[in-house]
Amino acid sequence: MLIHFCPRLLTPVGFDLPCELIDIRIKEFDLHLLGGRDVVARHPLPDKRYHVACRKAGCKAVNGLLVEVEKHVPLFTVDTRWSIDAEVVLRHRVEYVVLDAEHDAVSDYMLLWCDEVPNYFLGQSSPAMQVPLMELIRGNALQTERQDVFRLPTLRSERLDRQHADANQHLPSRDQAFHVKAEQISYGLA
């Protein structure tokens, strides 16, 4: 199963303090990616206030990460930590729930879903409002922790190929995927 996810931090307009990606952990896959070594935050989207995690490879700003898992997984949890001005640590936990087993890939980048949008999202507010996102908001209190549950339909893995559409030009290539063997997957039930 090919998993595409985009840990994101959105900063307010005019925010000029440095934001760094500390690490990303996926407990179920025994995967721990360190900021500056394995992953970095870049700006692949037109709105440069979005800091998006990508693999540390070259200089291109890529939208998210790929993890290739040897078997279908029904759920996984991504814990991301961000540093603001080397003083404040933000923690964002996203519990991803895979809604079906029809295809061989998932993505939290909704532009790739197209006709795969599940009934779960119909009738709700704009689907973009449901995207997992750590957001820095100006005000009196700083929210340093956030937890989301995000439901994903499966999609054909070809949707993640960069050469198939303009929307995919900033997606990571398959050779940038982190690989997880079936025996590494654990849900802590044993």
pLDDT in tens, 22-55: 999 999 999 999 999 999 999 999 999 999 999 9
Which tokens hold the place of 5? Answer: 């996810």
Output DSSP code: residue 172.
Answer: P
Enter the pTM of the model. 0.89
Domain map of the chain by residue range?
Answer: 2-173
Q: Is the pLDDT of residue 167 over 80?
A: no
